[in-house]
Structure formats: C-alpha cells, structure tokens
C-alpha cells in the first residue's frame, strides 16, 4: 500500500483494482482503497457471497446494516456483478464466490470532516439497538441530538439502523462542532 501512495503523483489516469483477496481481510482492504478515489476509478473484488451482499445491498432496519455500509456508499456506488463457479478455484472454496464492483462516486457527500463523520457513524452503531441520543451523547448533549433528529425528520427515539447515508450526513452537519 505504501508503494501505491508513493506512486500517486506519477499517475496520468485513474487505476482500476481487480483482486481476489482473502475473505477475512476484505473489509480492511475496502477501507484502505475507497478513500483513495483520486487514484482508483473502481474496485472489483471477489468475495464470499454473503459478505458481498451485505456490502452491496444492506437493508435499513436490519441486523446486517452496519457502519461499513455507510462507508461503502459514501465513497462508491456498489454493484453486485455475478457468481463465480467454485470450479474456477483450486482448492475449491466451500462458500459461494461473487464478483462485485465499487465504482467511485462522482461526488462525495458534503461533511465538514470525513474523520468526524465516520467517528460519529461508528459511535452511532456502538451498543446494539441503542438510541442515537444515547450513543452520540459524547459528541453533544442528548437534547441537541434530539433536536437534530427532529430536523432531519426522525423521532427522538431513532436508532442507527433507521438512518440512510443521507440522513447520517444531515445529522452530522447539524451536530458537528466546527
């Protein structure tokens, strides 16, 4: 990864990443590559089907909806492509493998700081099934969080799995300190 960072200034056009990586490091690889949108136009990965589906098509209000879904959708337009037959691998994996594409988003959502935004998103999802006014109270008082939730169009008892990316962006912009 450091070699890529050093060669960043030598690029005349954006690269495409196509990789078959170990399933257990896929989230970390995605977290490293997507913020480098100035270098990569898209990332195509082979992943275990269930992991790819969680990244590409998370459902609001489901237990599968996590901070990584917000991260992926912040930086890219994810797309499930196709299944890859097990017979194409040696040794053959036990899991079903699929190809999916993360095409860099043309415009990222406007937040004052991506670091504080993702910190807020991660905090929101800490503590399973907790209300946002509780999980975000270290950022600002619960009354400010409740007011911001109301302004965004949510109940004061809302939980993180109820908010889409756009809702988190609005909430962050209302409660973040300059």
Within this chain, do residues 16 and 87 fall inside the same structural domain, yes or no?
Answer: yes
Domain range for 89 is: 2-104
Indicate the SS3 state at residue 67. helix
Within this chain, do residues 138 and 156 fall inside the same structural domain, yes or no?
Answer: yes
pLDDT in tens, 75-109: 999 999 999 999 998 899 888 999 999 999 988 99
Quickly count: other Cβ atoms within 10 Å of residue 157's Cβ. 11
**What is residue 52's predicted lDDT score, i.e. its pLDDT?**
87
**What is residue 173's predicted lDDT score, i.e. its pLDDT?**
94
Ligand-binding annotation for 131, yes or no, is no
How many Cα atoms sit within 13 Å of 21 on the Cβ side? Answer: 18
Ligand-binding annotation for 73, yes or no, is no
pTM of the predicted model as reported, rounded to 2 decimal places: 0.86
Within this chain, do residues 8 and 69 fall inside the same structural domain, yes or no?
Answer: yes
Quickly count: other Cβ atoms within 10 Å of residue 40's Cβ. 21
């Amino acid at each position: 990864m450091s070699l890529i960072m050093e060669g960043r200034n030598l690029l005349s056009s954006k690269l495409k990443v196509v990789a078959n990586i170990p399933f257990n490091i896929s989230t970390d690889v995605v977290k490293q590559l997507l913020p480098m949108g100035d270098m990569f136009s898209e990332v195509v990965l082979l992943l275990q089907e269930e992991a790819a589906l969680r990244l590409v098509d998370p459902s609001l209000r489901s237990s599968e909806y996590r901070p990584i879904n917000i991260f992926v959708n912040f930086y890219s337009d994810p797309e499930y492509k196709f299944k890859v037959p097990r017979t194409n691998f040696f040794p053959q994996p036990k899991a079903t493998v699929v190809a999916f594409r993360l095409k860099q988003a043309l415009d990222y959502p406007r937040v004052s700081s991506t670091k504080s935004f993702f910190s807020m998103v991660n905090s929101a999802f800490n503590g399973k099934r907790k209300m946002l006014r509780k999980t975000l109270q270290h950022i600002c008082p619960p009354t400010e969080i409740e007011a911001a939730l109301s302004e965004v169009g949510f109940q004061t008892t809302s939980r993180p799995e109820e908010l889409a990316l756009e809702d988190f962006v609005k909430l962050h912009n209302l409660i973040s300190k300059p």
